[in-house]
Amino acid sequence: MAKVVSVGGVRRMARKERERNRWIPINHLYLAGVVTLLLSLTMNMVMFYRFQSLYKVRGRSSEGDPTVGASEMGEVPPEALLLSPHHDDVRSSSNGSFCAHQDGMDHVCLADEEHAGASSDGAPQQNGSTTTDCHSIVINLDHGDPTMYEPFWRAMEETSSIVIRSWQAMSYFSPAGSICWFMEPRLAREIVRLHNLVGNARTDGWHIVVGTGSTQLFQAALYALSPQDSVEAISVVSAAPYYSSYPTVTDFLRSGLYRWAGDAHSFDANTPYIELVCSPNNPDGFLREAVVNKETGSTIHDLAYYWPQYTPITTTASHDIMLFTFSKITGHAGTRIGWALVRDRHIAEKMTKFVELNTIGVSKDSQLRAAQILAAISDGYELPTHTEVGRFFDYGRRLMAERWERLRQVVQSADRFSLPDFPSANCSFTGQKTRFLPAFAWLRCEGKDKVDCQDFLRGHKILTRSGKHFGWGIEYVRVSMLDRDENFDLFTRRLTFIR
């Protein structure tokens, strides 16, 4: 039989329950709160000291005053770093450089190699850092990463930046009207505008094909020019010294359509061929023309460096296929944009098909960013509101001229190295007679016996690219002239003390 509990009984039971719970002291709750707070503070302190280096970096402003080198988000300003990929980063200092080593301490990098051993005992300095030998820093000038342009684009941030909204550029397709169906119309307009401004290439009557950098377009051009029904692969040649990636890229996929056949000067077969003409040439900086010139061949002109900061604009190029890369024009290598100006419609269609099958088009975000930056360059010369400060090619040419002058002074002060001599030429863009200022230095190690220049410089912790990769001698190396100021400064200082 169920037990019936009255309302009064329920109240008495609830009262007893409350009395039983009264034994928990209210102080225990306060104690728990205090413990939680202490644990939180402890964890915050641990995390702060663990990641302290991300929040404050010793650097110098452009005026030479000490600055805090990190933003609120803990990002280190690129101009405060001495770029040395795959190695410890380095930051500038009043008497040399601050080197961020893996031990987490700042080490003062002495101003020159001559005195590097004078105070390299690791003795603490007044600022809490220790001295270190600059010679321990590896300088990587093997690549052509064009980071020297960063200061210009920082100053031009307001006019060269773009906001891409979350709903923009979502489709694979761009508005109809171009053979290259994935090309953004604004990018096409800015490409034509810039070429017309500089006068380095004809665009009227040429088709534009956009790619993920010019390397993809180089492959697309090989595909488009190769006979599809040929039993034998077509030969691909280039005059030595040629760009080191030509052989590698040509043979990378072991295509049955084309194959690398070496130096164009040695090619004498009466069979179909494709000649690659890089002008100005990478690595030596000279203007080039086709070498083979046979009716059975086609040419691809790689004009990556045919811009006013590197060379006088002597003629308006009008070749069948002309390749350009965004990275070497503006320095934005990470955007991965290139374009081809193609005379023949059928070839342009085949190149577009290659890009379609290879990557299903090209990033719209990258295209829009490239269009904005190209527009900023043209605006700097065409809009009356812009001053000389915003003229990109003038800035690049001044910087390249300064670097080449410094490098030549270092090379001429010793008999250990030599550089090519370049003539001057009338530049239609500047209206003046100007010098060649290549993006790379074709450096030769001099000596009675043939010196492996790459190995020799590697022994001094300078990374370069050997002439053997360009179909040339090992006594030559290619040295990038496009790195950040800190890296280039340290390179010229170290070269001065090599005997």
> Quick one: pLDDT at residue 484?
97
343, pLDDT greater than 90: yes
Is the CB of residue 467 less than 8 Å from the CB of residue 477?
yes
C-alpha span between 488 and 334 (Å, rounded): 21
Q: Which residue has the tokens 């761009």?
A: 174
Query: Which residue from 427, 154, 151 is spatially nearest to 307, judged by alpha carbons?
Result: 427
Of 20-29, 120-129, 333-342, which gets the smallest average pLDDT?
Answer: 120-129
Question: What is the dotted CATH code of the domain comprising 398-496?
Answer: 3.90.1150.10
Please report, for the chain, the start and end positions of each structural domain, with discontinuous segments joined by +: 7-50, 57-137, 151-382, 398-496
C-alpha span between 381 and 393 (Å, rounded): 10
The residue-averaged pLDDT of 472-483 equals 98
The residue-averaged pLDDT of 74-99 equals 36
Torsion of CA 434, 420, 134, 137, to 10 degrees: 100
C-alpha span between 317 and 26 (Å, rounded): 87
pLDDT tens sequence across 354-393: 999 999 999 999 999 999 999 999 999 999 776 667 899 9
> Quick one: pLDDT at residue 176?
79
Of 30-44, 127-141, 300-314, which gets the smallest average pLDDT?
Answer: 30-44
187, pLDDT greater than 80: yes
- Burial label for 206, CB within 10 Å (0-12, 13-18, 19+), is buried
Q: How many CB atoms lie within 10 A of CB 370?
A: 28
Query: 151-382 with 398-496: one CATH topology?
Result: no
> Quick one: pLDDT at residue 87?
37
Give buried/exposed letters for 40-75 (b at 16+ CB in 10 A, else e): eeeeeeeeeeeeeeeeebbbbeeeeeeeebbeeeee
> Quick one: pLDDT at residue 223?
98
Residue 262 — left, alpha, or beta (φ > 0 → left; ψ -120 to 50 → alpha)?
Answer: left
> Quick one: pLDDT at residue 136?
84
Q: What is the 3-state secondary structure of 94-133? A: CCEEEEECCCCCEEEEECCHHHCCCCCCCCECCCCCEEEC
Question: What is the dotted CATH code of the domain comprising 151-382?
Answer: 3.40.640.10
Of 12-16, 266-270, 441-445, 477-481, which gets the smallest average pLDDT?
Answer: 12-16
pLDDT-based confidence at residue 496 (cuts at 50, 70, 90):
very high
Q: Under 8 Å CB-to-CB from 139, ≥6 apart: which residues?
A: 84, 461, 462, 463, 487, 490, 491, 494
For the record, the structure tokens of 355 come out as 């890009």
For the record, the structure tokens of 471 come out as 């179909």
pLDDT-based confidence at residue 448 (cuts at 50, 70, 90):
confident
Q: Under 8 Å CB-to-CB from 383, ≥6 apart: which residues?
A: none
Query: Which residue from 462, 406, 396, 494 is spatially nearest to 97, judged by alpha carbons?
Result: 494
The residue-averaged pLDDT of 403-419 equals 95
C-alpha span between 208 and 321 (Å, rounded): 10
Q: What is the DSSP letter of 201?
A: B
> Quick one: pLDDT at residue 486?
95
For the record, the structure tokens of 319 come out as 């070749």
Of 108-112, 254-258, 320-324, which gets the smallest average pLDDT?
Answer: 108-112
- Provide the H-helix boundaries in 199-291: 213-225, 245-251
Q: What percent of the chain has pLDDT over 70?
A: 72
Of 140-144, 161-165, 166-170, 412-416, which gets the smallest average pLDDT?
Answer: 412-416
Q: What percent of the chain has pLDDT over 90?
A: 68
- Chain centroid to Cα 159, Å, comes to 21
Of 12-16, 21-25, 434-438, 472-476, which gets the smallest average pLDDT?
Answer: 21-25
> Quick one: pLDDT at residue 41?
58
- Which pairs from 385-393 meet CB under 8 Å and 24+ separation? 389/155, 390/156, 390/159, 392/152, 392/156, 392/330, 393/198, 393/307, 393/308, 393/309, 393/429
Torsion of CA 207, 212, 214, 217, to 10 degrees: -50
Query: Which residue from 137, 496, 129 is spatially nearest to 119, judged by alpha carbons?
Result: 129
pLDDT tens sequence across 240-249: 999 999 999 9
3 state DSSP class of 355: helix
What's the mean pLDDT when you consider all of the chain?
82
Greater pLDDT, 70 or 456: 456
Query: Which residue from 95, 56, 58 is spatially nearest to 73, judged by alpha carbons?
Result: 56
For the record, the structure tokens of 41 come out as 């503070």
The residue-averaged pLDDT of 115-130 equals 39
For the record, the structure tokens of 69 come out as 């080198």
pLDDT-based confidence at residue 173 (cuts at 50, 70, 90):
very high
